[in-house]
Chains A and B, each alone.
Chain A
Amino acid sequence: MKMKKQIALIIIAAMAINLQIQAQKYITKNGKIHFYSTAPAEKIEAFNNQVNSALDISNGDFIFRVLMKSFQFEKALMQEHFNENYVESHKFPNATFTGTVTNLNEIDFQKSGTYQAKIEGDLTIHGMTQKISEQGTFEVKDDKIHGKSTFYVAVADYDIKIPQAVITNIAEKIEVNVDILLEPLNK
């Protein structure tokens, strides 16, 4: 009888530890990324509302997974050119970011407020990986973390070739806006 009680206690303790570990992780599968290119000949923008992101607040690990084919353009032709000619989404279907929040000690995830976040890591687009260092904000409220960031991606850094004929249609640096609402994993 005593043995059974001990086993039950061990199981409950293990479950509690597991829940605590899970509570350190915040995720979304509906993050938003919007990119914007302003060039002399044309303005191009696209939206993706299916972005996966996870943040581990215990160590700052931060990842993104973005399906390139999920970007929606206003013009079907632009969407076609983006997927087939530029990012070649049939060869490189995902863009990823794997990095960390480097100023974790300045952010109190238990206390509501808006905090500046410094993020460093590897951004992979079109099969090319570059180290990036960007800034954003985390708004902590009601046990959710609302992350926002705007940064620029140079097309040439990711081996994305723009034909000479349309060089004035696409900006050399694309503005990227990230907007994610992260919720605890165990919810």
Chain B
Amino acid sequence: MNYNEFQEFIVRTIFAATNPKNYLKMKKWMKILAVLAVIGIAAASYVYVFVYNKAHPDYAQLEPEHSISTKACFETFRNNETEANQNFVGKMIQLSGTLDQIEYVDNQIIFYFIFSEGMFGNEGVRVSMLQNEQLSEITTGQNITLKGFCTGYNQTDVVLEHGSIIY
């Protein structure tokens, strides 16, 4: 339908709607149009709320897809990064190990499991913890189990975010 045809269609529709002879006939069409409009608005609202504005995952509630020690996690990335990327990156991972360092950066708390040294100093597994986690009783030297969302290996550390303590 080109622009002129569309214009003609609109004029005819308005004329037909205002003609009393067509009133009953048009009422049926109006009902169909109203139903279609409601369906359209509902579909658009669904897409806007649940697709375009869909929420980030609730990381604290995500189930871990893998369970591994912090040392094994670090070594897996160091020895075969491609395979480790496929297995761990973009997934929630459960890790167990002895905590070596707690860093406070801005409003972030980072748990650091150290296994080596390189050009950036220490190397290991860094887990940036969720802000609402209760971490005050955790100290370095403690053996802990936690989970975190793995974002990859930057040739120095394996990085996990949205971390939370399991036990």
Contact = CB atoms under 8 A, between A and B. Distances in A.
Interface string B72-109: 00000000000001000110000000000001011010
In which size bucket is the chain A interface? 20 to 34
Interface string B44-56: 0000000111111
Interface range, B side: 20 to 34
A150 interface: no
Interface stretch (B3-11, B13-21, B35-43, B154-162): B154-162
Contacts of B155: 65, 94
Nearest to B81: A93
Interface stretch (A10-18, A67-75, A110-118, A126-134): A67-75
Interface of B: 51-57, 85, 89-90, 103, 105-106, 108, 110, 119-121, 126, 128, 151-157, 159, 161
Interface string A29-42: 11000000000000
A67 B121 CA distance: 18
B87 to A, nearest CB: 12
Given A30-B110, A93-B153, 14 more contacts: A29-B120, A30-B103, A30-B105, A49-B108, A50-B126, A52-B156, A67-B154, A69-B89, A69-B90, A69-B151, A76-B56, A76-B57, A90-B90, A93-B152
Given A90-B85, A93-B85, A185-B121, A29 B156 contact: yes
Contact of B120 (A49, A54, A77, A79): A54
Contact of A93 (B89, B110, B161): B89
A49 B105 CA distance: 10
A86 to B, nearest CB: 15
A46 to B, nearest CB: 13
A52 B120 contact: yes
Nearest to B157: A29
A27 interface: yes
A49 B128 CA distance: 10
B152 A69 contact: yes
Contacts of B54: 75-77
Contacts of B120: 27, 29, 52, 54, 185
Nearest to A185: B121
B166 to A, nearest CB: 22
Given A49-B108, A77-B52, A90-B85, A27 B151 contact: no
Closest 4 CB pairs of A and B: A69-B151, A93-B152, A65-B154, A67-B152
Contacts of A94: 152, 154-155
